[in-house]
Structure 1
Amino acid sequence: MVTANPAGFVTCCLLSLLLLAGCTLTEHPTAAGEPLVGCADISPASVGSITAERHYEYMVSCIKNQQFSQASSHYAIAGVQTWHDYLTSPGSVSKERHQAELRKQLARLSDKEKRHFWDELNIVLRDEKRLAGLCAMITLPESNKRAKMLWDEAKNGYLHCENQRVF
């Protein structure tokens, strides 16, 4: 004889409802409906090979995981990249991209998460050793002197790296 299990029935119905609604238990969708990316480690290769938009996505994931050092690195790389793109191709489109992409990604965070991140980021940016390390990490292995000059100009303009020395 089979007996009914009301708790199991309710759980099954709720799971079915979630699946029918398009939700899953393992993905956390972004505003665009894509799965949330993880907090990726920074490597020298990621500085020039990953888009600013992806770095900002990583930044948000790092913030949500309270990995603020990684989040700060992704923030810095993305900002330098979009500023570099603006210097390379000045105009309203690249300027708007520089300003809008960060705003768009920050909108995915709670006010508490944003405040905590800005507090942690300001600690990094005000600490000479940490800022110098960040500036040294954000380099391009570019052989083109003009591209490297514009990258350094973007890095100096965005992060104020020009006066930093590696300790």
Structure 2
Amino acid sequence: MPANLNLVRTLTTLVLTMTLISGCAAASPQPFSVLEQGSAAMTTEDFTFAAALEQRKWEQLYAQIHAHRLPAPQPPMIDWEKNLVVLVASGWKPSAGYRVNINRIERRGTRLQAFVEVDEPPAGSLQLTVMTQPYVLALIERPERLQAIEFVDSSGKALRRLEVSLP
């Protein structure tokens, strides 16, 4: 019986160690590029975070962003075997001069962290008084395995987490 108990303890320790190591995976830069950036996302939420992993979702997302344009533009072609797309839109802003940026993306095990920043116009600057909805679309190199995309501010504070499934 003691041999079985030692085996159970050893296996439990191994599983816990592997879980800890995978959860604390070191961050590595994830290649990405800005696909599109604009001031009229036509989203309804204060902040919108979304991901497209396949064509149908991409077409829906792109149509939503450009719902105000007639005729609606066709979405850029994406190689879904190599890439995925994320959207960050900051919601309604009271003037021109706002901009949404994804400064970097890091891979941490089976999740990606996108570092988001919203630039505001300088205080006291003259800006066109018009309602805007700044957004950015980023094309990300598709990782082998992915369980979540986390959007965080520049200090690392969580803004939103999207559960995804890439085998």
With normalisation by structure 1, the TM-score equals 0.28
- Greater helix share, structure number: 1
- Greater strand share, structure number: 2
With normalisation by structure 2, the TM-score equals 0.28
